[in-house]
Amino acid sequence: MSLGDLASDATVFTAAFHVERTDLAAYAEASGDRNPIHLDEAAAKAAGLPDVIAHGMYTMGLVSRAVLEWLAASGTDARITAFSARFAKPVVVPASGGADVEVEAKVRKAGADAAELAITVTSGGERVLAPARVTLTAY
Amino acid sequence: MLNASYVGRSLPTTAPVTITDESVTRFAQSLGLAAAHPDGTHASQAVLPPTYLISLTLPAADPLIEDPEFGLDFSRVLHREQRFAYHRELTAGAQVSCTVTVESIKTVAGNDLLSLHTAVEDGLGLAAEVWTTLFVAGDPA
C-alpha cells in the first residue's frame, strides 16, 4: 500500500497490549530510566500516585510498535519521521493483573509522500495519551 | 521553583557516543519490536526504534538535575509531553552527540513546566531533534 491510498478520518488499525510490572522492569533496564515510580509501589505512592505507573515512554514505545507492525503487515513502504504525545493520564500497573493498553490510529492527512496519523491510547477506560501524532514519510 | 534565568541556556554538547547494536536490540526487545533494517538494503545494522533516542537525551540533561542553582528535584518530576523529529534514519553504529537547551519554563498554579530541546548530531550534522516537557510539582504549601 502507498501512503496516498489512505483515506482521511479512516481508522487504519487498532492494537492491544498487556503490560505487567516485569515489562516495566525490562524497559527500565533497556532505557536507563530507573525512576522508582515505575518499579516500586511504595515509591509511587510516596510521589502521590495510586500505584506503580508505566513509563510514558514505554506507552509511547508500544504505540511505535503498533505503527511499525501495521506498516509491515500492510506492506506500506514508509518510515516514522515525527512522533509526539502528551501524557494525559498515567497507565496504572497493579502487581496483580497488570494493565491493558488499547491503541487506535486514524488518518489526519494523507498524501503520496507523507501522511499523519492521530492515535488514541486508552487504559482502564481513560485516555492516557492526548493524542499521539505520527508523521510517516515514504521511502 | 526552577531558576528561570536558565531559559535559553544550552548545556555543553556531550562527547560523541557510538550507538551499539546491543543497546538497540535490548531497547527493541523491551518493547516487543521486531528488528528493523534500513529499507532496500541488507545492512547488518539495526534501525533505531522510534523512541530509542530518549535513552540518550534524558541522561544528557543530567547536569541540570545535578546543578543546585537550577533547583530541579527529580523526585517531583512527571513526564508531560514528548516529541521526536527524525531528519535522517539512524542505525546502530552511528556516532552521536547531544546538545540540551532549556527552551522554556512556565509556572502554572505553583508547578513548573520545563521544556527541553535536544539536538542530536552525527558526523553529517543534525540527525534528529527531541523535545521533552517535564511537569515539576511545586512545594506543598
Instruction: Note the ipTM here.
Output: 0.96
Q: Is the pLDDT of residue B41 over 70?
A: no
Domain range list for chain A:
3-138
Q: State whether A67 and B39 contact (CB < 8 Å).
A: no
pTM exceeds 0.90 for this model: yes
Fold entry, domain A3-138: Thiol Ester Dehydrase; Chain A (3.10.129)
CB burial string A12-23: b at 16+ within 10 A, e below? bbebebebebeb
pLDDT digits (tens, 9 = 90+) for B55-83: 999 999 999 999 999 999 988 999 999 99
Which residue from B31, B59, B82 is facing A62, i.e. has the nearest CB? B31
Neighbours of B80 (CB within 10 A): 18
Contacts with B131 from chain A: Cβ below 8 Å? 84
Only one residue has cell 513502504, namely A77
DSSP B138: P
- The class that CATH gives domain B4-19+53-136 is alpha beta
- How close A10 gets to chain B, by Cα (Å)? 24
Residue B30 CB neighbours (<10 A): 20
* CA nearest to B51 within chain A: A61
